[in-house]
């Protein structure tokens, strides 16, 4: 089973993705975590990505497409995975669509975590205090929300055309939202 998580920064994709991956025993492919690991290890990808991430900008498609391709090709993700944090642009969506079409696979569930903007800002500011992530500064948060609206939100319509996007009201407790997702996907 392949599940795609869509939603604004701070909507809880990572949080719910971890719960889903554990419950369903599926690998989770998270571009944000992979990029942060690359930054920490100081790899060429990480050094380049950091300059964009710190400003709240998307890492350019030219840099990230190879990473997505490699992750989708992982043998353990051959029969199912949770996709979290990508696609974020039309070009990334095309890459995902083409990869699945080539394999004769499909995205079984596309879940849109829906959270009002003031709550998103509150959550990310809370995380800034707890984790000190360099892209959780007030200026970077503003940029991330703007870029989400410009580049990523249009993907909702792209997937909605195929009729399999489910909107998940994602403002309750983490457990309540996890229960709602369980109900929506039927397992």
Contact residues for ligand B4P, defined by CB under 6 A: 7, 9-15, 31-32, 35, 52-53, 56, 58-59, 64, 85-86, 88, 92, 123, 126-127, 135, 144, 173-174, 177
By beta-carbon proximity to ligand B4P, the closer residue of 102 and 131 is 131
Q: How far is the CB of 169 from ligand B4P (least distance, A)?
A: 10
Nearer to ligand B4P, 20 or 58 (CB): 58
**Comparison of 127 and 182: residue with beta carbon closer to ligand B4P:** 127
C-alpha distances in Å from residue 140, one per residue of 1, 13, 73: 34, 18, 32
133 catalytic residue (yes or no):
yes
In the annotation, is 74 catalytic? Answer: no
- State the nearest-atom distance from the C-beta of 41 to ligand B4P, in Å: 15
**Shortest-Cβ-distance residue relative to ligand B4P:** 32
């Amino acid at each position: 089973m392949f599940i795609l998580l869509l939603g604004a920064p701070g909507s809880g994709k990572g949080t719910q993705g971890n719960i889903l991956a554990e419950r369903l025993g599926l690998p989770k492919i998270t571009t944000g975590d992979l990029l942060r690991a690359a930054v920490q290890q100081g790899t060429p990808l990480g050094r380049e990505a950091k300059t964009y991430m710190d400003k709240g900008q998307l890492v350019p498609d030219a840099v990230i497409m190879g990473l997505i391709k490699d992750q989708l090709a992982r043998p353990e993700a051959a029969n199912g995975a949770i996709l979290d944090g990508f696609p974020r642009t039309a070009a990334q969506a095309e890459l995902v669509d083409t990869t699945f079409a080539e394999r004769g696979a499909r995205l079984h569930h596309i879940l849109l975590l829906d959270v009002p903007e003031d709550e998103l800002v509150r959550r990310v500011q809370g995380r800034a205090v707890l984790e000190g992530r360099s892209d959780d500064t007030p200026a970077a948060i503003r940029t991330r929300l703007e870029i989400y609206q410009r580049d990523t939100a249009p993907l909702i319509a792209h997937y909605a055309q195929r009729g399999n996007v489910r909107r998940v009201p994602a403002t309750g407790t983490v457990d309540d939202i996890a229960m709602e997702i369980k109900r929506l996907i039927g397992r």
